[in-house]
Copies of this chain bind each other. A is one copy, B any other.
């Protein structure tokens, strides 16, 4: 019988922010696979490692970091073949996903290649979005408010239109788009209270107001949370609090 393939969300960084379900699966699978930068370490593996058997089999999936999609597609094709061979041999595998597997993750490219042939199970994880809100002690949205997730790679016109028409927004994958995005945030009226969160829940967690950030020192996986709705944390509450705590 073929092994099961689990896509396990390991959460945003704090190893305790994985789910019980995730831990139970990590304790029972034969092998873990995980994304890894060429020549770099794997954050997903680092997050999961306190929960892994010391001698568990490891399959790093090296993912090229190029703008063109073809090299990544080739890498996923090859990875799916390798993973499929193991599953076929009855080996169960957990693929470690930063955050949540189905929230802008790359795990979906393995899912789409393997789910028609094998038993694939999704284990949701805490996304950086929820961890970022907890980090700045501010709700994402409430009641009848709209919340938009906007990749910073969107063009200026789209970003401005979408920010103008919302009470709450999370701008993701900010990195080298920061200066451009900050201008658009200001144009949209969202600058007040817009916060930049890097490495939410990790020891290197860093929280700053949008006005206090230099693009050069910003990491790719930073997130900006905007809120200008009518709830009290948009005004009194948030205005009173020391954001550095």
Residues of A within 8 A of B (CB): 9, 11-12, 14-21, 23-24, 100-105, 108, 111-112, 115-116, 120, 122-127, 130-131, 133-134, 137-151, 153-154, 158, 161-162, 165, 201, 231-233, 237, 240-241
Q: Which of B125, B139, B148, B161 contacts A147 (CB 8 A)?
A: B148
Q: A154-B144, A237-B115 are in contact. Are A17 and B17 (CB under 8 A)?
A: no
Question: Once the chains bind, are B151 and A148 in contact (CB under 8 Å)?
Answer: no
Q: A116-B240, A145-B151, A149-B141 are in contact. Are A100 and B130 (CB under 8 A)?
A: yes
Q: A131-B124, A146-B162 are in contact. Are A103 and B14 (CB under 8 A)?
A: no
Quickly give the copy total for this chain: 2
Q: List chain B residues, Cβ under 8 A from A103.
A: 130, 133, 139-141
Question: Once the chains bind, are B16 and A18 in contact (CB under 8 Å)?
Answer: no
Can you name 15 A-B residue pairings with CB atoms under 8 Å?
Answer: A16-B20, A16-B21, A19-B19, A103-B139, A104-B140, A104-B142, A105-B139, A108-B142, A115-B137, A115-B241, A122-B137, A124-B201, A146-B148, A146-B158, A148-B148
A140-B105 Cα distance, complex, nearest whole Å: 9
Shortest CB-to-CB span from A45 to chain B, Å, is 17
A25-B20 Cα distance, complex, nearest whole Å: 14
Shortest CB-to-CB span from A31 to chain B, Å, is 21
The chain B residue with its CB closest to the CB of A126 is: B124
A112-B112 Cα distance, complex, nearest whole Å: 42
